Amino acid sequence: VTIGSDPLVAAVDWGTSRLRIWLLDASGAVLAERRSDEGLLGVGSEGFSAVLERHLGEMNAPATTSVVICGMAGSRQGWLEVPYVAVPARLADVLAKAVPLPGGRRDVRIIPGVAQKSPDAPDVMRGEETQLAGITRSLAEGRHLVCMPGTHSKWVDIENGTITRFGTWLTGELFSVLTQHSILRHAVGTKPASVSPGNSVFRSWLEQALASPADLTSRLFKIRASTLLADLGPDDAAAALSGLLIGTEIGSARTQFGWRQRDVVVLIASGALGELYAEALRIAEHRVEAVDADTAVRAGLFEAALGHLADGGSERAKA
């Protein structure tokens, strides 16, 4: 890797299954990037510090470059448990509460997650708060509904840079678990094709789910029945399941948050999943403002780094 200008910070998104590292210069531009499967579950006996230093070494990062981390590395099973910040949570405050790791050669900080401790809607996030912080500047004043699809999809109500409320939908994990371990594995086959946003089966099951999201667990069996009675093939069964789960998520989330059709949804996502959700939200009659998830998390990590540098947070690294 050739580095044209000096790195200011290593921005790290350390999730359950993936690790991503970007070396950023003082303008926030990407000097180098690494992606690996060494998420929380893949770190093993090498340990978090050694995995990080190995990657930074391979990226030719100077030994003094500071590091800002978000995601599950801050969870109980991670590198260092960083206490949650409770809602209502001002995103700038969440970044400022990044916790420095004790010892070590360089300044390494982990951004806290956010918790909603109300007894009727307990919820947690780790990593998404940093993506949200990364888009806050680009949002107008006022209230915004944000959708962040994935294994555990998050929907977040943001008002003037503060998370007021959020929830998690198990959409991606249900798709994976049901296609691998339930009776639907017979319907979907061993290798479900990725679902195209233009697929008419996806659209039809999505629309049914939007019309009555309460009926998910009976509709699941109807996918199986459709393979017996209507020769629904494996790819269409996967599209049906995807439409059913995503439609249920959208129908449930917008009702819980008191939003309606026509309202704008800010969609933070990447790649094929982003395209699928963008189409799903349009079918659900929302206007969509799409933001790339990688760009968002990088911007949030960079902003956290700038704040700590301004605070003198790099003193130790200089010493």
State the minimum distance, in angstroms, from the CB of residue 247 to a second copy. Answer: 11
Find the binder of a second copy among 36, 60, 180, 194 (CB under 8 A): 180
Find the binder of a second copy among 13, 249, 294, 303 (CB under 8 A): 249
Please state the three-class secondary structure of the chain as a single string: CCCCCCCCEEEEEECCCCEEEEEECCCCCEEEEEEECCCHHHCHHHCHHHHHHHHHHHCCCCCCCEEEEEEHHHCCCCCCCCCCEECCEEHHHHHHCCEECCCCCCCEEECCCEEECCCCCCEEECCHHHHHHHHHHHCCCCEEEEEECCCCEEEEEEECCEEEEEEEECHHHHHHHHHHHCCHHHHHCCCCCCCCCCCHHHHHHHHHHHHCHHHHHHHHHHHHHHHHHCCCCHHHHHHHHHHHHHHHHHHHHHHHCCCCCCCEEEEEECHHHHHHHHHHHHHCCCEEEEEEHHHHHHHHHHHHHHHHHHCCCCHHHHC
State the minimum distance, in angstroms, from the CB of residue 177 to a second copy. Answer: 5
Cβ 227 vs Cβ 186: under 8 Å: yes
Cβ 153 vs Cβ 147: under 8 Å: yes
Report if residue 255 touches a second copy, rule: CB under 8 A. Answer: yes
Residues between 57 and 96 that touch a second copy (CB under 8 A): 76
Residues between 263 and 282 that touch a second copy (CB under 8 A): none
Find the binder of a second copy among 21, 220, 241, 299 (CB under 8 A): 220
Nearer to a second copy, 230 or 319 (CB): 230
State the minimum distance, in angstroms, from the CB of residue 121 to a second copy. Answer: 7
State the minimum distance, in angstroms, from the CB of residue 162 to a second copy. Answer: 20
Residues between 119 and 178 that touch a second copy (CB under 8 A): 119-124, 152, 167-171, 173-174, 177-178
State the minimum distance, in angstroms, from the CB of residue 318 to a second copy. Answer: 37
Find the binder of a second copy among 25, 215, 275, 292 (CB under 8 A): 215
Judged by CB under 8 A, which stretch of 20-28, 56-64, 192-200, 212-220 contacts a second copy?
Answer: 212-220
# residues near a second copy by CB under 8 A: 48
Nearer to a second copy, 65 or 252 (CB): 252
Q: Could you list the residues that contact a second copy (CB under 8 A)?
A: 76, 115-117, 119-124, 152, 167-171, 173-174, 177-178, 180-183, 208, 212-218, 220-222, 225-226, 228-230, 245, 248-249, 251-253, 255-256
